[in-house]
Amino acid sequence: MHNSPESHFKKPRMEHTEIKHYLFSEIFKASLFIANNMVRNNKYTNSNSYTYIDLFAGSGKFEDDSKGSPLIAIDIAANHLKYKGNAFNEIDLIFIEKDKQNADELKKNVELELEKHNLENLRVKIGDGSWEEYDIEKILRDSTWGFVFADPFSTELKLEDLKNELENYSKYKDILIFANFITLARQYARSHDNDIKRVCEFFGISENELQGDIDFSEKFIELLKNKLRKIKDFSIGVAIPIAVKKELRTMNYFYLVLFTSSVMVGNAFLKSYADIIEKYRNKESNLPFDNYNEEPLYNLLKKVKKLSLYEIWEYYQQNFLSWKKLITDSNLKVPTLKNITGIINNFKNNCLLEIAADGKYLYKKPKIRNGYINYNNLKNIHDLKEIKINSTSL
């Protein structure tokens, strides 16, 4: 049977989809928890509701009874509402599915899942049709906090349309987009008019922007990062492999891209990716390098001499993370805050740089770590901008 949105859910959930759902669930939980803490501490806004929107919800379940993103979201939201530290009066979950067959199945699966939790303040709406038919901007306007998940079957998402819906009311909302890199790359390589048109519609660009001798993988990253740059502070992309005939292939087939303005949400995303990499690599990695000149930060500090931790964080996120490189090279590690500050602290220990920061960001004991960055104390963009790194012996 030809693979399609309908047939996709009539098969067991593939291993690469399990990886995607793990990353999705971890970042959704982090987004919800961090927003909850902001509300509880009366920071930024008095809004006490949270809205999750799934633009390509599917049927909610696979043939093997494993859950899709809508049912995963219900479980996460329900557990949060039962959490004794919950600060939200209600959580709204909005699932939109264009395919009629999938939408009908979704309604049945959602009803059964909601019966398990029986929570009045967990409110679910199911949209039967394309997400473009719904006023997403209004939905976002009615809730300060939230999460938007765009997981198209292939390349049918139009990023420009999504940006237009998001740009006015996404300040405190996180956005996660699934991008089928290989399909887009193949369409670009075929160069047929219809294929190029699909690629341009996905990115919201003119055909002129794809002309000339370009590296599509670099162009892919550039276009995705820039599309929502004015809306969110950070864009972090991670590659996901594909399972073919039940075998997971070590390649960068898909990407999940997180757009957020929260350092903590971004770090949680990287941490969950680090966990999944370690699971599949099945060995501990070594970072920082024993040979300093193999560490990218070494060469960066040689050129710039003085940087903020914010600039270093952005430097490590400038490219999307490669599944293939991380899996095959045990010396590489995901650039979480813990790992990045670990590199900086190690450089300081070897007299390669100095750290200038308020004491609240530094370890105070034990003595061996006194004056080194304590990554546990970093909570927002301001913290990263306050910490200055000056090279000394580079």
pLDDT tens profile 202-261: 999 999 998 888 999 999 999 999 889 889 999 999 999 999 888 899 999 999 999 999
At 281 the pLDDT is: 84
- Going across the sheet that includes 353-356, the strands are 306-308, 388-391, 353-356
Q: Residue 17 burial by CB count (10 A; 0-12/13-18/19+): exposed, middle or buried?
A: buried
State whether 167 and 302 are in the same domain.
Answer: no
At 53 the pLDDT is: 98
Estimate to the nearest angstrom the gap between the alpha carbon of 315 and the chain centroid. Answer: 17
This prediction's pTM? 0.93
Where among 281, 303, 322 does a domain terminate?
Answer: 281
- pLDDT band of 3, cuts 50, 70, 90: low
Q: Which residue has the tokens 């530094």?
A: 362
At 5 the pLDDT is: 59
Could you read off the pLDDT of 253-298 as tens digits, one per residue? 999 999 999 999 999 999 999 999 999 986 444 444 456 677 889 9
Q: What is the rounded distance in angstroms from the CA atom of residue 392 to the CA atom of residue 394? A: 6
User: What is the average per-residue pLDDT within 2-7?
Assistant: 59
State whether 228 and 209 are in the same domain.
Answer: yes
State whether 129 and 274 are in the same domain.
Answer: yes
Q: What is the rounded distance in angstroms from the CA atom of residue 125 to the CA atom of residue 325? A: 41
Q: Total structural domains in the chain?
A: 2
Does residue 287 sit within a domain? no
State whether 263 and 296 are in the same domain.
Answer: no
Torsion angle (degrees, nearest 10) of CA 178, 182, 187, 188: 100
State whether 308 and 226 are in the same domain.
Answer: no
State whether 116 and 135 are in the same domain.
Answer: yes
Domain that holds residue 366: 292-391
Which helix (DSSP H) or strand (DSSP E) does residue 250 occupy? strand 247-260
At 48 the pLDDT is: 83
At 41 the pLDDT is: 82
- CATH classification at residue 20: 3.40.50.150
Estimate to the nearest angstrom the gap between the alpha carbon of 322 and the chain centroid. Answer: 14
At 125 the pLDDT is: 96
User: What is the average per-residue pLDDT within 375-381?
Assistant: 94
Where among 219, 249, 281 does a domain terminate?
Answer: 281
